Amino acid sequence: MKIWVINGPNINLLGQRETEIYGHKTYRDLIDYIEEEAYSLDIDVECFQSNHEGILIDWIHAGIGKVDGLIINAGGYTHTSIALMDAVKGSGITTVEVHISNPKEREGFRKISYLSMVASKTIEGKGFEGYKEALQWLRGNRDQEKR
């Protein structure tokens, strides 16, 4: 099973940015965590991060026919990007939207998620554990399909 994890703007600043919300663990810590969890689930995982919307869209398109699932934390684009929503929808790839914090407990504009309108599942407010839950859900979903 192959899964791509796509992280959007400012996720690279984990450990530096708004530590009261995101904690002190770094982006490298997140990647190490994801890779360890994927290994334990026998999942081949690749992680990407960009601050540029078009690059995120290009990665989603590049995954068509190559991956079994996507995990995406689109950062601020979650609340603004219809283009990312359309890319996920058009890709046909089973997608889990993940947020380290809980956007519904933050500023009002963060309550809208265009991605949640097309993602198969949304996980919010569980920190790094949300990525583990997403990997487990995709693994379980794939195993269900094989039956």
CA distance 14 to 11: 6
**What does the mean pLDDT of the chain come to?**
91
Q: Show the DSSP H helices in the chain as ranges.
A: 19-22, 27-40, 53-62, 82-91, 129-146
Tokens of 17: 């940015």
Q: Report, as residue numbers or ranges, the catalytic residues.
A: 22, 99
Q: Is residue 22 over pLDDT 80?
A: no
Task: Please give the residue range of the domain that contains residue 110.
Answer: 2-146
Phi-psi region for residue 113, left (φ > 0), alpha (ψ -120 to 50) or beta? beta
Higher confidence at residue 126 or residue 141?
126
pLDDT band at 61 (very low <50, low <70, confident <90, very high): very high
CA distance 131 to 147: 25
CA distance 42 to 24: 28
Determine which of 84-88, 132-136, 139-143 has the lowest per-residue pLDDT on average: 139-143
Candidates 20, 2, 5; CA nearest to 123 is 5
Q: Is residue 147 over pLDDT 60?
A: no
Contact of 49 with 12, CB cutoff 8 Å: yes
- Largest CA-CA distance found in the chain, in angstroms, rounded: 45
pLDDT band at 15 (very low <50, low <70, confident <90, very high): confident
Tokens of 102: 């809980």
pLDDT band at 141 (very low <50, low <70, confident <90, very high): confident
Residue with token string 């791509």: 4
In this prediction the pTM is 0.90
Residue with token string 């914090």: 101
The CATH code of the domain that includes 84 is 3.40.50.9100
CA distance 35 to 31: 6
Q: pLDDT (tens digit, 9 = 90+) per residue, 26-53?
A: 999 999 999 999 999 999 999 999 999 9
Total number of domains constituting the chain: 1
Q: pLDDT (tens digit, 9 = 90+) per residue, 83-126?
A: 999 999 999 999 999 999 776 766 665 668 899 999 999 999 99
